[in-house]
Chain A
Amino acid sequence: MWIYQKKLQYPVNITCPNPRMAKALMAQYGGPDSELGAAMRYLTQRFSMPDNRVKATCNDIGTEELGHWEMIGAMIYQCLRDAPLKEMEAAGLAGYYTMHGKGVYPADPNGVPFTASYIQCTGDPIADITEDMAAEQKARATYEHLMTLTDDASLLNPLRFLREREIVHFQRFGECLEILQNL
């Protein structure tokens, strides 16, 4: 089971409305390589992993990703919270506003809703861990793209933190692959 802790893993304090970045951040909230996809992917793959170390890694990284999903949701919320409707429209969010208001909905920046087809669980541990390693690299690349889109420190600091976590996760999954290859 999971216990909620009423704090973010890394603080998010965005005071300046930024609908353009809210839209871009949706890549990591509801896109194919999003934190939501990461959490669901690892937490569902863990059941059939044949080694306790790999089960633990999928379980614990999956859990950390839920905390990252919460951080991205907080960032989108704070970017939209005080944004005037005109600015949301100018950022291309008229369609989003129509359907979701200022709520935080798991879709990508182009409005495509999150779907389980973004993740796989083949039940083959080597195939699954290799997917996880690729997922971490894709998330890292997405964070780098997001960081080139803004010079606001209140966005850059959490993005930098999240990017570094992807690198650590990639390292741990790489060790899992080695463990599986030596079973």
Chain B
Amino acid sequence: MMTSTELLRKISEYQFVTVELNLYLDTHPGDELARADYYYYSARLKEVMELYEAAYGPLMNFGHSPTDAGSYVDSAWPWE
């Protein structure tokens, strides 16, 4: 199993790609290749997010992580 740091790194890598593609698609919404890449990498991002959350608790608030909000409070805040 990957450590939480390793999984967070994977999440950040996929997020970097999807943010880049997202901003590119904002000004080039008709680029089919970029749309396919975005679709592919957002699926990868979803996979690693689910792996992380199953092992280390929720990453998101307001119901967007399928885990209890109690453990959201307890995990380390990202500036600590």
Q: Which residues of A contact B (CB under 8 A)?
A: 3-12, 53, 56-57, 60-61, 64, 70, 73-74, 77-78, 168-169, 172, 175-176, 179
Question: What is the bound-complex CA distance between A7 and B23, given in angstroms?
Answer: 20
Decide if B75 touches A60 in the complex (CB within 8 Å): no
**From DSSP, what is the main secondary structure of chain A's interface residues?**
helix
Decide if B27 touches A6 in the complex (CB within 8 Å): no
Question: What is the bound-complex CA distance between A3 and B60, given in angstroms?
Answer: 7
Decide if A179 touches B27 in the complex (CB within 8 Å): yes
Question: What is the bound-complex CA distance between A3 and B59, given in angstroms?
Answer: 10
Question: What is the bound-complex CA distance between A74 and B79, given in angstroms?
Answer: 5
Decide if B24 touches A11 in the complex (CB within 8 Å): no
Decide if B79 touches A6 in the complex (CB within 8 Å): no
Decide if B78 touches A8 in the complex (CB within 8 Å): yes
Query: In the complex, which of the residues B12, B23, B58, B62 contacts A61, with contact meaning CB atoms closer than 8 Å?
Result: B23
CB-defined A-B contacts under 8 Å, sample of 13: A6-B61, A6-B78, A7-B8, A8-B78, A8-B79, A10-B12, A12-B79, A53-B29, A57-B26, A57-B27, A70-B79, A74-B78, A168-B20
Within 8 A of A (CB), among B17-50: 19-20, 22-24, 26-29
Decide if B12 touches A60 in the complex (CB within 8 Å): no
The 7 closest A-B pairs by CB, nearest first: A74-B79, A56-B26, A175-B27, A57-B26, A8-B78, A4-B61, A7-B78
Known A-B contacts A3-B64, A4-B60, A6-B72; A53 and B26 likewise in contact (beta carbons under 8 Å): yes
Question: What is the bound-complex CA distance between A73 and B77, given in angstroms?
Answer: 13
Decide if A9 touches B15 in the complex (CB within 8 Å): yes
Decide if B15 touches A6 in the complex (CB within 8 Å): no
B51 at the interface (CB under 8 A from A): no
Query: In the complex, which of the residues B20, B24, B29, B60 contacts A6, with contact meaning CB atoms closer than 8 Å?
Result: B60
B74 to chain A, nearest CB (A): 11
Query: In the complex, which of the residues B8, B20, B23, B27 contacts A11, with contact meaning CB atoms closer than 8 Å?
Result: B8
List of A residues within 8 angstroms of B23 by Cβ: 57, 60-61, 64, 168-169, 172
A4 to chain B, nearest CB (A): 5
Question: What is the bound-complex CA distance between A4 and B9, given in angstroms?
Answer: 18
List of A residues within 8 angstroms of B15 by Cβ: 9
Question: What is the bound-complex CA distance between A9 and B22, given in angstroms?
Answer: 15
List of B residues within 8 angstroms of A172 by Cβ: 23-24, 26-27
A63 to chain B, nearest CB (A): 9
